[in-house]
Amino acid sequence: MNRRGWQLRLTTLLRPFGSLAKTSSAKNAGWLYLLQFSNYVIPLVTVPYLVRVLGPSSYGEVGFGQGLASYLAIGVNYGFDLSATRDISSVRSNALEVKRISSAIWTAKLTLLILALGLLTALIVFVGKVGKEYAIMLILFGIVIGNALFPTWLFQGLERMGFISVTHLVTRAAATAAIFVFVRSSNNALQYAVILSSQWLLMGLVGVALATLRLGVYPSIAPWNQVRRAIIRGGAAFSARALGGVYSAGNPFLLGLLSSPSTVGYYVAAEKLVRVAVGSLDPLTQALYPSFSRHAVGLNDDFNRTFRWVSKVMVAWGAALGFFFLVGGHSLVKILYGVRFESSVVPLEVLGSECLFVAVSYCYGVLYMLPMRKDAAFSGFIAVATAIDIVLALILVPKLGATGMAISVVASEAIVALATYFYAKVHMGRVREASIEVT
């Protein structure tokens, strides 16, 4: 092929990305990747320090509490980060409608926050392992409050990702500095919990302030019929988020109920590194979701083309990350955590494959099925995966500890990835057939 031929071929290959780069999605992705850069740097600085200073047991105790806080935060966030983002994106030019939706969401979150506090109290009273760590559990409830306050759904719906990035960067930087000042020994687990909680509380307050001062949208109590409607609309997305949270954010809590704090510490140390890697997929997903929802991907040739290219890039990146952890997991743990955390090596190598499966489910689940309003099917896939995760954890954790938990998580992610892929492919085929019949 001559030079002109190669230039023409390269231009054709890059055309989807060129059109994408001209949209607000590209700017939003840029902001979110800036945030993700900090998500790489900060954990690589703080996590090795924390695991060495706190040790497996104390680090595991806080990880156990964070797992429960993650469960409660998922309940309070409900499905609003998806359903409300989609609703606000569709009426973004109507300021009154944006305010009405926002009031309903904040009121619903307040209601769910009160229920979450009641659930936490019951767990402290009736579940021995939770009651034993009641101080950490109560302190970390600040994470749940911060999640209730911060309007991610509003900023995403209006495609103002800069607000999300700046708020996260500033609060995480402050928390990082506090960790090095106040966490100095294995006796400082409570101080670490206070820092984590304060970070999220500050983030929530700053988010509300930005929404009020810069967007003219502020928290207010909405009529119950509007709150009820918001809850109904977010129901399917909540099912997906809540069930998915069992085998993602909340696994340290499940592991803590079945094993020792040290085992939780080894698992959380491995999980933190994988979460950083998986997080590299989030900015593009979050930036494209409002746009894809607005244009109903699957019925639009330009977005169909963009979707195909984005999915190829994300899946390839996920596969590369999984291979990196499989090959370099032992060296990574040795360099970052030291010999005391040798038990984190195998869980890390197993969890690394999660990167590929998450990439697939993000593409075909979040970026295709949800914009096409296939929430119920997506939730169904996650429900099956969640049940398998719990069953496998009950079987494998007593025998394999942290490695058993890792196997359970990866098996669950693989099920969601395969289910969403095949469902989306079948749906795409039907859409193409329908469009051919129309023409």
User: Is 379's pLDDT higher than 90?
Assistant: no
Taking a C-beta distance cutoff of 8 angstroms, is the pair 179, 192 a contact?
A: yes
User: Is 398's pLDDT higher than 80?
Assistant: yes
pTM of this prediction?
0.81
Taking a C-beta distance cutoff of 8 angstroms, is the pair 145, 204 a contact?
A: yes
Report the chain's C-alpha Rg in angstroms: 22
User: Is 28's pLDDT higher than 70?
Assistant: no
* Closest CA relative to residue 406, chosen from 262, 243, 244, 248: 248
For position 430, what pLDDT does the model report?
Answer: 78
Q: Tell me, what amino acid is at 246?
A: V
Residue 7 — pLDDT band, cuts 50, 70, 90?
A: very low
Q: What is the pLDDT of residues 209-260, one digit of tens each?
A: 999 999 999 999 999 999 999 988 887 667 666 666 666 667 899 999 999 9
Taking a C-beta distance cutoff of 8 angstroms, is the pair 150, 167 a contact?
A: yes
For position 243, what pLDDT does the model report?
Answer: 64
For residues 22-45, average pLDDT = 66
Question: Burial of 18 by CB count in 10 Å (0-12 exposed, 13-18 middle, 19+ buried)?
Answer: exposed
What kind and span of H or E run contains 315? helix 301-336
What kind and span of H or E run contains 100? helix 95-126
User: Is 12's pLDDT higher than 60?
Assistant: no
For position 22, what pLDDT does the model report?
Answer: 53
Q: What is the pLDDT of residues 185-207, one digit of tens each?
A: 999 999 999 999 999 999 999 99
Q: What is the pLDDT of residues 40-55, one digit of tens each?
A: 678 878 999 999 999 9
Position with higher pLDDT, 32 vs 107:
107
